[in-house]
Structure 1
Amino acid sequence: MVWKVCVIGAGINGIAVARELQKRYGSDIEVTIVTDKKTPNTTSDVAAGLWMPHLVDGKNADLLKKWARETFEHIAHLERDSPDSGAFMCSGYVFDNEPSPPDFDESIYHTFKTLTKQEIEQLGFSHFNYGNFYTTYFLEPSIYLRKLMREFAAEGGKILEKKLETVDDLAPEDYDLIVNCSGLGSRQLFGDEEIIPIRGHVIRAKCPSMKHFYIFENQFHCFPNSDTVVLGGTAHKGDYDLSIRPADTQLILNTVQKRLPQLRGVEIIQERVGLRPSRKNIRLETDQFLTRTGKMVPIVHNYGHGGSGITLFYGCAKAAADFVEVELKEKSKI
């Protein structure tokens, strides 16, 4: 029997689940991704791809740590074995005037060090009281999503470009199971009022000399990517505005250029705004959907990762695929 599964959403979480299912089931599964946005136009594409927990909530800290560690190890594998993945190791600094211990477990990082006040001053950031040094990874979303999409298509995956107004627009009765990775779309599709946007504005600029990442006061940052540096950022809760705001542009530039003078006068390549899908708790669970034809279809939800999509995607994809396996095993008994 060939299982027919639909994945809603083609950001990092959607395509990662789709690929995980293809790997587990091979020719015994037919996966269709339904989306109104593909790379390079997804929310994931806006991000620089730093592995570091950010703007994510969850009632189960142990699960978050597990998903984060699994994703870190997966990116490490990509960095070693997949040169076309957009993964690379990078070290950098986090500065603040309040204590800023690492989220989750500092042992996950290749390197973690709390800086002394003297070390902070020697680095030229004496106006900050606290600083940490990390060695972690970047996984550039636009590069990695292209790779996953190529692999997905090569394994027989189908993509249906369509904006859904309701779940019934899918003809859900045609599928054995649905995986929902629609992020903010879950508010409209599934009536989830807990999911809210956190608006982020970033600027891509040319600065080849920038080899480390910097985060200031848990908000402003400079992240190196392969062709640009990504400067940011903003975190406006409940704000759906996708337009470029000149005031935000100036705030970001003025702040990061003051902290990092080498960024003054850099060539701006692009500005983008993305809406992080934030939720009090990541929703990763199984539900049931009653179609208008009266058929009950299982749905696995996987959304609400906030600013930590890259940090959690692989661990969450594995967990979502585990839920799919349970549901399909039950169906096979019928």
Structure 2
Amino acid sequence: MDGAGTGDAVVAGGGVIGLTTALALAEAGRRVRVWTREPAERTTSAVAGGLWWPYRIEPEALVGDWALQTLDVYRRWADRPDETGVRLVEGMLGETRLDSLGPWAARVPGLRPAGPQEYAGTALWARLPLIDMSTHLPWLRRRLLAAGGAVEERTVTDLAAVDAPVVVNCTGLGARELVPDPAVRPVRGQLVVVRNPGITTWLTSVDTASEESTYIFPQPGGLVLGGTAEEGAWSLAPDPATAERIVARCAALRPEIAGARVLEHRVGLRPARHAVRLEREELPGGRVLVHNYGHGGAGVTVAWGCARQAAGLVR
């Protein structure tokens, strides 16, 4: 492809995984271009609720370390929330026990059981990064540009044909057709954003065996209510009946949500896979292709751990 050979690396995909990986490469001294089919503001990452927490991602043995590395980064960036979009916010993880989590949980500061007067069931209190993706994604892009990287709206149709010494595949759900990898599948998530009636803490109540879940995330642009996890569903159109059920479930936990004015409906397709694919592949002519996709519902949670590993694979 003409013009591509002027950079040391091309990262395919401009969501949170692609931008973070590109930034890790740029900060390691490589010249990087991101080729993205659409701007970050229109990727699946832009729809994300933004809570740091491993959700619908495998394998657990690796996810914990990736997530903890990312947590360390976000905790530093939380000092500048208006700039980075990252805040540390208290909330409760409903239907969650410490002994049900992996060893990584012992290294998450401040996790503690909620008392019966705080939650009608088993829950954990936590102070976790809650990331406003409408601020965070443009900030990542600006930081990449400041590090000498570039972002181009350009569709990759053949990874092996990209004329660059290093190609990194961060195309998420697009990897299903691009690789092709039929193991990548969509898990549809629908959200409702309402005017915040004054809620300052987040709350999740998630049953991974169900297509419906409940979560409440106070973001600067409104209160984000969720959600769904519909396996194999491709529709990006908000479903009005689903939206009504989301609001009703959230209002059952926080009654002040009932009647809150709806600001926006969102739908995103999580790029799920039986395990994240993070590996190196040799291309003709001594070129390198690194795959970094399949992060399910936890791309923002593992972004830096995976980006650093991907960057290490190109050395």
Provide the residue aligned with 2:104 in structure 1: 105
CA pair 239-300 structure 1, distance change in 2 beyond 3 A: same
- Equivalent residue letter for 2:191: V
CA pair 194-108 structure 1, distance change in 2 beyond 3 A: same
Q: For residues 101 and 229 of structure 1, what CA distance do their matches in structure 2 show?
A: 29
Provide the residue aligned with 1:53 in structure 2: 54
Provide the residue aligned with 1:92 in structure 2: 91
1:22 paired residue among 26, 33, 52: 26
Secondary structure at the aligned position of 2:100 is classed as: coil
Q: For residues 253 and 109 of structure 1, what CA distance do their matches in structure 2 show?
A: 30
C-alpha displacement at 1:223, in angstroms? Answer: 0.8
What do residues 258-282 of structure 1 show as CA deviations (whole Å, max 9, x unaligned)? 2210101111111110011111111
Provide the residue aligned with 2:133 in structure 1: 141
Provide the residue aligned with 2:204 in structure 1: 215
Q: Which runs of 5+ in 2 are unaligned?
A: 1-5, 208-212
What do residues 149-206 of structure 1 show as CA deviations (whole Å, max 9, x unaligned)? 11222333222212333336xx41x200100000111111111111111100011111
C-alpha displacement at 1:288, in angstroms? Answer: 2.7
C-alpha displacement at 1:81, in angstroms? Answer: 5.1
1:166 paired residue among 147, 158, 163: 158
C-alpha displacement at 1:98, in angstroms? Answer: 9.1
C-alpha displacement at 1:324, in angstroms? Answer: 1.3
Residue 179 of structure 2 is aligned to residue 190 of structure 1: yes
Moved more, 34-43 or 91-100: 91-100
What is the TM-score normalised by the length of structure 2? 0.90
- Equivalent residue letter for 1:300: V
CA pair 135-155 structure 1, distance change in 2 beyond 3 A: closer
Moved more, 3-12 or 176-185: 3-12
Would you say the 8 A contact 1:197–1:237 is kept in 2? yes
Residue 269 of structure 2 is aligned to residue 269 of structure 1: no
Residue 65 of structure 2 is aligned to residue 66 of structure 1: yes
Provide the residue aligned with 1:332 in structure 2: none
CA pair 245-134 structure 1, distance change in 2 beyond 3 A: same
Q: CA RMSD for the aligned pairs?
A: 2.2
C-alpha displacement at 1:252, in angstroms? Answer: 0.4
Would you say the 8 A contact 1:198–1:237 is kept in 2? yes
Q: For residues 275 and 16 of structure 1, what CA distance do their matches in structure 2 show?
A: 19
- Equivalent residue letter for 1:244: P
- Equivalent residue letter for 2:84: S
**Number of paired residues?**
306
What is the TM-score normalised by the length of structure 1? 0.86
Q: For residues 270 and 280 of structure 1, what CA distance do their matches in structure 2 show?
A: 31
C-alpha displacement at 1:110, in angstroms? Answer: 2.2
Secondary structure at the aligned position of 2:31 is classed as: strand
Residue 35 of structure 2 is aligned to residue 34 of structure 1: yes
Q: For residues 52 and 153 of structure 1, what CA distance do their matches in structure 2 show?
A: 28
- Equivalent residue letter for 1:41: R
Q: For residues 246 and 104 of structure 1, what CA distance do their matches in structure 2 show?
A: 40
Provide the residue aligned with 1:233 in structure 2: 227
- Equivalent residue letter for 1:37: E
Would you say the 8 A contact 1:208–1:228 is kept in 2? no
C-alpha displacement at 1:5, in angstroms? Answer: 0.7
Would you say the 8 A contact 1:196–1:279 is kept in 2? yes
- Equivalent residue letter for 2:51: L
Residue 154 of structure 2 is aligned to residue 153 of structure 1: no
Q: For residues 171 and 220 of structure 2, what CA distance do their matches in structure 1 show?
A: 28
Question: Which entry has the higher C-alpha Rg, 1 or 2?
Answer: 1
C-alpha displacement at 1:97, in angstroms? Answer: 9.2
Q: Which runs of 5+ in 1 are unaligned?
A: 326-334
